Amino acid sequence: MIQPVILCGGKGSRLWPLSRESYPKQFLTVGSEKTLFQETVLRAAALGNMAPPVAMCGEELRFLVAEQLLELEVKGDIVLEPESKNTAPAVAISALLKKDKDPLLLVMPADHIIKDKVAFKNSFTKAVKLAEKNFLVTFGIIPDHPETAFGYLHRGTPVDEGFQVLRFEEKPTAEVAAQYYDSGEYFWNSGIFLFRASAFLRELEKYAPGMLTVCEKTLAESLHDLDFFRLSPSEFAKCPEDSIDYAVMEKTDKCVMVELDAGWNDLGTWSSLYLASQKDENNNVLHGDVISSDTQNCYLHSENRLLAAIGLKDIVAVETSDAVFVAHMDKAQDVKKMVESLTAKKRHEVIHHRKVYRPWGTYESTDTGLRYQVKCITVNPGQILSLQMHHHRAEHWVVVHGTAKITNGEKEFMLTEDQSTYIPVGTKHRLENPGKIPLELIEIQTGAYLGEDDIVRFEDLYGRYES
């Protein structure tokens, strides 16, 4: 049996403003109707003889992962990490979770594109033969140009249908990257792995025994909650933070690689997204309502309004409802520094889009002023918000489409289109969609403080008792 492990907890800050903390890049669609996460799940399933996936993610992304698996009609384990500890602890937890069955673990980040599925399956078949001999296999991407944004694998002598890995190399300078490319001995480090659970745990015990011990204690104190497996926050907090490369793969003598030439892209930068996208006759990538003239080699993306460009070359311009990002293609990867600056200033644009996804549906702020805020709320059929109250704001709900079941203080009643209710400050209230179609309503908030943390939950279908 082969166990897919999908690592889907990253923030994807280098693709801001499309990627946000609450909706990172692995849940975006890129050249497909499916999200990158969903494409990863389907890619694994297409290999055959696969167990249901294990998805490793943070608490804040749990409902996105659950919803996207539900859309695929795929059941799997969703393991919630209380905090980010990099890839080694995530893989260790997955291996321990499936230790009794001792499967081959196929570890894949959720934010990659692999265009040639046949080539991927061919490389995977070679990797299986090596993993069954207790090698720890990684996939080395055959480079088609010198690249400074990726780490590299230095290929050694042949091992069956793979190769020994002599060294893992960090992201190189442009000069060194050119040398790597010309030598033909260096391959991009894909971050995709295949190994038997027991083989990985043996090497982890040898090179990072403290991490293994903490992960074992974490699992012993963890519990199932609804559709999720929650890791113990107190135990997991003690776990060292490290990547699987540093913790094990660079140290073990069991590491081998198979070559992969399958149109791989990790979408780590705007330039990599540009390279992965379909281009027009002027070598531009145009997404949304975009008009360009005398413009070449640009990535122009509009979410909400007309984006007009004249006389540009090698530019990234991305418009969303609450932010516009413009950079030269060569500098676009420095957006991470800008995100760090925005985070330090506590700007909400780092965390949320204007449309915020919740397990029951979405809300979108359309207008904000002194002591008021207007939101458009959509509640999916059969879903129900928490029973809650606010200390600092009152709310007025107007139903636009569908039927709402309302709890307002001691009263319960139904509202249909064009009907409304007023909820005073400090009043317990709840909103439910009992119908078969989405419920849409306008919420008008008034008060001295309108922050999302002014929520006291008394009951919640989704186990949320934080703000």
Question: Across the chain, what does the average pLDDT equal?
Answer: 94
> Is the pTM value of this prediction over 0.95?
no
Q: Is the pLDDT score of 352 beyond 70?
A: yes
3-state percent helix, strand, coil for the chain, nearest multiple of 5: 25, 35, 35
Mean pLDDT in residue range 19-41: 92
Place of tokens 């070679």: 126
Listing DSSP states for 391-440 in one string gives: SSEEEEEEEEES-EEEEETTEEEEE-TT-EEEE-TT--EEEE--SSS-EE
Residue 296 DSSP code: B
User: How do strand 2-7 and strand 54-58 relate by DSSP bridges?
Assistant: parallel
- What are the residues whose beta carbons fall under 8 Å from the beta carbon of 135, sequence distance 6 or more? 159, 162, 195, 199, 254, 255, 256
Q: 32-36, 166-170, 397-401, 461-465: lowest mean pLDDT where?
A: 461-465
Instruction: Express each pLDDT in 297-316 by its tens digit.
Output: 999 999 999 999 999 999 99
Q: Give the span between the Cα atoms of 115 and 38, in whole angstroms.
A: 14
**Residue 287 pLDDT class (50, 70, 90 cuts):** very high
Where residue 79 falls among pLDDT bands split at 50, 70, 90?
A: very high
Burial of 71 (0-12, 13-18, 19+ CB in 10 A): exposed
* pLDDT reading at 386 higher than 60: yes
Give the pLDDT confidence of 443-453 residue by residue, as tens digits.
Answer: 999 999 998 88
Which domains does the chain possess?
Answer: 2-265 (3.90.550.10), 270-338 (no CATH), 355-459 (2.60.120.10)
One-letter amino acid identity for 343?
A: T
Tokens at residue 358, please? 């919740």
467: confidence class by pLDDT, cuts 50, 70, 90: very low
Per-residue DSSP letter, 446: E
Write the pLDDT tens digit of every residue in 173-183. Answer: 999 999 999 99
| Candidate from 93-107, 117-131, 445-459 with smallest mean pLDDT | 445-459
